[in-house]
Amino acid sequence: MQRNERIPLRTVRRERLCIVMACHDAIEAEQVGALVLQVNHGVLVTYRKAQDVLLNRPAGRVVLIILATAEEPQAVGETLAWIRRHWPHCPVAVIGDQGGGELEIAARAGGAIFLTRPVDPEAWESMVHHVLDVGSRVKREAELG
């Protein structure tokens, strides 16, 4: 080997796993953030409005999107359509104050699950742990070959 020749180093590409949450309630964001810290694998990226996700896409691999805003059902529907074009297989949850209304219809038509407030802490935990554990497993498998 010549003196100036560089040895190629194998680098492991580490993608940051992201949970994206558009919310207007700081308590809901704190609940999800605490669960992300508990798993210690991934980050929570928060936005004020659902449409802000369109304007400022997060870096990293998005593994869950939570829309917990007070926006109109039409705006949520448009955001869901955009999300489905960019992250077609990503699970999406829409949080609303009551079920059976236009927001729930828009959520389900956009391929999202719909939960009503207050969201049970076990439901938050189930969503976060599932996507971060699955994402971690997929990431480990990719690193293995």
Q: How far is CA 56 from CA 5, 49, 51, 110, 116, in A?
A: 41, 11, 9, 20, 27
* 121 part of a folded domain: yes
* 62 part of a folded domain: yes
pLDDT band at 8 (very low <50, low <70, confident <90, very high): low
**Which pLDDT tens digit goes with each residue over 17-32?**
899 999 988 999 999 9
Overall pTM > 0.85:
no
Joined together, the tokens standing for residue 81 give 């359509």
* 9 part of a folded domain: no
What's the number of domains the chain is made of?
1
CB 56 within 8 A of CB 47: yes
Which residue segment(s) compose the domain that 79 sits in? 17-144
* 43 part of a folded domain: yes
- Sort 136 into a burial class: Cβ within 10 Å, 0-12 / 13-18 / 19+: middle
**Which pLDDT tens digit goes with each residue over 37-79?**
988 888 999 999 888 888 888 888 899 999 998 889 999 999 9
Q: How far is CA 65 from CA 10, 24, 80, 143, in A?
A: 32, 15, 10, 25
CB 90 within 8 A of CB 62: yes
Q: Check which CATH number belongs to the domain holding 39 and give it.
A: 3.40.50.2300
**Which pLDDT tens digit goes with each residue over 75-113?**
999 999 999 999 999 999 999 998 889 999 999 999 999
Cα 71 to chain centroid distance, Å, stands at 18
